[in-house]
Every structure is written in structure tokens, then in C-alpha cells.
């Protein structure tokens, strides 16, 4: 029995009793199943949910399309959870091609064709400066010291912690509110101590970020807004 959806299969040796499905932020489908579940049973599970999956993927595409940027004057762009309008100016060449100034993003008109790349470069620089600074603050506060910090272009993951404790964060993090950003940083720092998402991990995280569930909810509900 074949389905027309590609998916990532994750078999768990833990006490998982049922098969479950999750559509990630980049549209990838993840299937979680007990370790010894037969392949035919997994295929049937997906087949029975084809209509639901199609509807969810279409809904995701519509959400992304509705937030795709045209880089026109007055269009709003997020920075640390706040929206700032875009202004196009014919300023002097020595001024920055893109800057955030007096409550608005200002883009030089002769660089309009490069607007997307300029925004990505701007967010990436902000991420390098601010995320590294805040990771240093929280790592000292909680005595959880990473190997280093790397800024990525990941779409489906806000952050990650490698086996050797290298932390990676997407530049898209600079669009989320500061308290949500801090949650993601601390979440990955906790992985230095607890490598998986065990109950011990979540208990420890909650002791550091009591409202972590609200932060996770914000990320789920607003992830489509961080597209350029």
C-alpha cells in the first residue's frame, strides 16, 4: 500500500503505544511509531489521513502566501515581536542599504531588487550580535556552557544543540518576541544537561522558564509570520 506523501518515520523504543503524525513548520511530515510497528500498518495510518494531510498542507501554503513579502512601502516587518513599516528612500550612497531607524525600516531605492537578501543579511547580523550576547548571559546564569553558537538559515527548527554542545539558531529568531527568543535559547542550553526531551528535561526547563508552554504556543501559532 503506497501513499503519495513523503514522510520521515521515527520509530521509538520507549513506551509509545500508538502511531502519531506531525506536520513540521517547513511542511515535512513526521510519523512517530512504536519500534516494532509493521510498515503496512504505518502506510495504512497515513493513507487513512490523506485528506486531512492535504487540507493541512494547503492551509499552510495559503498562510505562507498571505504573508509573503513584496517589499513595498508601508509593508510591515517583524523585529523582536514588533512590526515596523518599510520606507523606500533615495538617500545618499554612503548610507546603509537597509537600516532600522525611528520606528521604521528604511531601504535605499536603488537596492530594491536585492531587498530580500538585504533583509536576511540584516537579520543574520542582528542574530550574531544579540543571540551570542544573550547565550553568554544565560549560560553564566545557569552554569550551562556551550561549545559555541552558530547562526543558520533553518526553516523548520528555531534552534538545536549538538552532541558536543554546539548551539545553532535560525536568524528568523530575530522576528519573535524577546521572551520567546529567550525561551528558545534556554531550551537549547538545557540540552547541555539533558540531551533528550525526557520528563526530567521538561521539569528542569519549567524551573527556569515557568511560562515555557505559552512560548511554545506562540511559536506554533506564528511560525508562518517569519517568512520573507
Checking if the pLDDT of 44 tops 70, the result is yes
Report in angstroms the alpha-carbon separations of 127 from 10, 19, 171, 174: 31, 37, 6, 6
- Residue length of the chain: 228
Class of 119-226 per CATH? alpha beta
Strand order in the sheet with 8-12: 8-12, 29-34, 20-23
The lowest-confidence range among 20-24, 112-116, 136-140 is 20-24
CA distance 204 to 79: 29
Checking if the pLDDT of 62 tops 90, the result is no
Mean pLDDT value across residues 78-103: 90
Mean pLDDT value across residues 35-55: 90
C-alpha cell at 82: 514588533
pLDDT at 30: 87
**Cell 520507549 sits on residue:** 14
C-alpha cell at 104: 521604521
Q: Which of 36-45, 54-63, 167-176 has the highest mean pLDDT?
A: 167-176
CA distance 188 to 159: 7
68 vs 29, higher pLDDT: 29
Mean pLDDT value across residues 183-187: 97
Checking if the pLDDT of 9 tops 90, the result is no
**pLDDT tens for residues 21-34?**
988 766 778 898 98
Per-residue pLDDT band at 1 (split at 50, 70, 90): very low
pLDDT at 25: 66
C-alpha cell at 63: 498562510
Buried/exposed code over 2-28 (b: 16+ C-beta within 10 A; e: otherwise): ebeeebeeeeeeeeeeebebebebeee
3-state class of 166 per DSSP?
A: strand
Checking if the pLDDT of 5 tops 90, the result is no
CA distance 210 to 216: 12
Mean pLDDT value across residues 41-49: 91
To 10 degrees, what angle do helices 39-48 and 50-67 make?
60
pLDDT at 72: 93
Q: Where in the chain are the domains? A: 8-67, 76-113, 119-226
For the entire predicted model, the pTM comes to 0.77
Mean pLDDT value across residues 67-71: 84
C-alpha cell at 55: 487540507
94: left (phi over 0), alpha (psi -120 to 50) or beta: alpha
Share of the chain above pLDDT 70, in %: 93
To 10 degrees, what angle do helices 178-193 and 115-142 make?
50
Cα separation of the two ends of the chain: 38
Checking if the pLDDT of 144 tops 50, the result is yes
Average pLDDT, the chain: 90
Amino acid at each position: 500500500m503506497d501513499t503519495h506523501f513523503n514522510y520521515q518515520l521515527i520509530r521509538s523504543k520507549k513506551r509509545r503505544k500508538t502511531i502519531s503524525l506531525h506536520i513540521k513548520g517547513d511542511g515535512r511530515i513526521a510519523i512517530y511509531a512504536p519500534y516494532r510497528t509493521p510498515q503496512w500498518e504505518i502506510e495504512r495510518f497515513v493513507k487513512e489521513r490523506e485528506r486531512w494531510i492535504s487540507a493541512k498542507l494547503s492551509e499552510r501554503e495559503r498562510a505562507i502566501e498571505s504573508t509573503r513579502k513584496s517589499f513595498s512601502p508601508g509593508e510591515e516587518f517583524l523585529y523582536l515581536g514588533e512590526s515596523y513599516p518599510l520606507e523606500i528612500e533615495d538617500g545618499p550612497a554612503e548610507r546603509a542599504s537597509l537600516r532600522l531607524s525611528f520606528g521604521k525600516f528604511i531601504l535605499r531605492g536603488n537596492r530594491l531588487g536585492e531587498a530580500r537578501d538585504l533583509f536576511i543579511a540584516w537579520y543574520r547580523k542582528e542574530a550574531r550580535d544579540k543571540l551570542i550576547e544573550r547565550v553568554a548571559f544565560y549560560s553564566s546564569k545557569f552554569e550551562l556552557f556551550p561549545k559555541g553558537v552558530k547562526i543558520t538559515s533553518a526553516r523548520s527548527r528555531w534552534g538545536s544543540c549538538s552532541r558536543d554542545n554546539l548551539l545553532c539558531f535560525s536568524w528568523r529568531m530575530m522576528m519573535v518576541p524577546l521572551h520567546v527568543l529567550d525561551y528558545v535559547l534556554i531550551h537549547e542550553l538545557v540540552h547541555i544537561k539533558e540531551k533528550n526531551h525526557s520528563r526530567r528535561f521538561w521539569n528542569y526547563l519549567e524551573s527556569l522558564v515557568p511560562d515555557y508552554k505559552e512560548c511554545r504556543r506562540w511559536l506554533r501559532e506564528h511560525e508562518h509570520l517569519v517568512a520573507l
